[in-house]
Chains A and B, each alone.
Chain A
Amino acid sequence: EMQLVESGGGLVQPGGSLRLSCAASGFTFSTYSMNWVRQAPGKGLEWVSYISGSSRTIYYADSVKGRFTISRDNAKNSLYLQMNSLRAEDTAVYCCARETNDGGHFDYWGQGTLVTVSS
């Protein structure tokens, strides 16, 4: 059974850092591009970052560029998001999402991990 399980969320002060993880199972992780998508409380979906299977191609939303870093470890079937210089507006549930092999959309999502940025 395919699973994506996020962890690492929590309460952090503005300006602080946090590292999120996404553990994948049930599919050949290295052959899929992965994404992070976030959802602020009561708000819509916001795409955060993309990484190709080989890590060769990476994209970021303008709102996190220069502050967040996406990475993956295919040997550990894991996806990561290093978040620095956190702001109140980064408060959200962060989900990892698998991109289909033909690209452009997301066929499996994790349940997410909540990040709260507050003093």
Chain B
Amino acid sequence: SYVLTQPPSVSVAPGKTARITCGGNNIGGKSVHWYQQKPGQAPVLVIYYDGDRPSGIPERFSGSNSGNTATLTISRVEAGDEADYFCQVWDSSSAAYVFGAGTKVTVL
């Protein structure tokens, strides 16, 4: 089955840029979606189709996808961005949705 690999944690100072990677075999050939989850809350879609933003999501959130790595970038990080972030794809070979294990973003 398809595996998505994320770093367990990323730390970033306020105002700086956080980059969260999601690795997978030829992930560039798939559409990658990203979710933000704060403690005790349901996940929120922040990026879909690699780099599109749902309405209401700040422009500080962006995404890219190429080769074996997709990246979620959070610019000008704020304290409110502290959360877990999960990448997700559809694996057609196994007819299954796959999530990465998640990355905890800590704002220093």
Q: Which residues of A approach B to under 8 Å, CB–CB?
A: 35, 37, 44-47, 50, 59, 61-62, 95, 100, 103-107, 109-112
Contact = CB atoms under 8 A, between A and B. Distances in A.
Interface in B16-51: 31, 33, 35, 37, 41-45, 48-49
A95 B101 CA distance: 17
Nearest to A110: B42
Interface of B: 1, 31, 33, 35, 37, 41-45, 48-49, 54, 84, 86, 88, 90, 94-102
B90 A104 contact: yes
Contacts of A46: 99
A109 B100 contact: no
A90 B1 CA distance: 20
25 contacts: A35-B97, A44-B86, A44-B99, A44-B100, A44-B101, A44-B102, A45-B88, A46-B99, A47-B96, A47-B98, A59-B95, A62-B94, A62-B96, A95-B43, A103-B90, A104-B31, A104-B33, A104-B49, A105-B33, A105-B49, A105-B88, A106-B33, A106-B35, A106-B88, A109-B43
B91 to A, nearest CB: 10
